[in-house]
Amino acid sequence: MNSASTKCGQLLIDVDNKATVNQRRLIFLDTETTGLSRERDRICEVAAIEVNHNLEVVGQFHTYINPRRNIPYFVTRIHGLTNQFLSDKPVFSSIAPDLAKFLEGAELYAHNMPFDSSFLNSEFKRNGFPQLEELDCSLHCTCMMAKKLINNSSYSLNALLDFFRIDRSNRKLHGALIDTELLVELYKKMISIQNQLDQNR
């Protein structure tokens, strides 16, 4: 686990009276799981990257998790995580306190937020921890954001990375950390378009 930042306050207070007064923390996240059912399946990797108001990375949380579930072969083919690799990794209950502290009070962005948030909420609830909304997090989906900004035949992460000509050569398989890193780059492109649209109104 890499928890480079553990800021957990709801707001950033700007003592120098600059433009970041009361700006909520901005965090991008992704999960990998053993399957698609939040009741039967479990999270086996989670990554969260915090950026500042200039969209510069200021913190990171990443860990693999022992899901205590067998990962079907067809799922391993998607993210490359095997039962053997995850067997000595921490269980979710042991990483939940640090993860909750890292996410608390933040604006959260994921490319399929309904999926990621439902799995995180299920894991938190199952282990006796507050869910994302109870942690004062607000949830945003970059896939829905893209659909409002551009016309494209597909809104998958790969398709949008190609649309914006973002290098994805290191993304051989799905992976929570690499996908989150690329999502930050995608967000930079989309927020630039959004700012241009706002200026032209």
Q: Which helix or strand (DSSP H or E) is residue 145 part of?
A: helix 142-149
Total tally of structural domains belonging to the chain: 1
Beta bridge partners of 2: 62
Question: What is the per-residue pLDDT for 8?
Answer: 33
Average pLDDT over residues 24-51: 97
- pLDDT, tens digit, 9 for 90 and up, residues 61-117: 999 999 999 999 999 999 999 999 999 999 999 999 999 999 999 999 999 999 999
pLDDT over threshold 80, residue 19: no
pLDDT over threshold 70, residue 185: yes
pLDDT over threshold 90, residue 12: no
Question: What is the per-residue pLDDT for 11?
Answer: 36
Domain span at residue 178 reads 2-200
Tell me if 80 sits within 8 A of 175, measured CB to CB.
Answer: yes
C-beta pairs of 18-25 under 8 Å, 24+ apart in sequence: 19/53, 20/52, 20/53, 23/53, 24/105, 24/106, 24/107, 24/138, 25/50, 25/105, 25/106, 25/107
What pTM did the predictor assign? 0.88
Q: Does residue 6 or residue 82 have the better pLDDT? A: 82
Q: What is the CATH number of the domain that holds 6?
A: 3.30.420.10
Question: What is the per-residue pLDDT for 18?
Answer: 42
Catalytic residues: 174
pLDDT over threshold 50, residue 165: yes
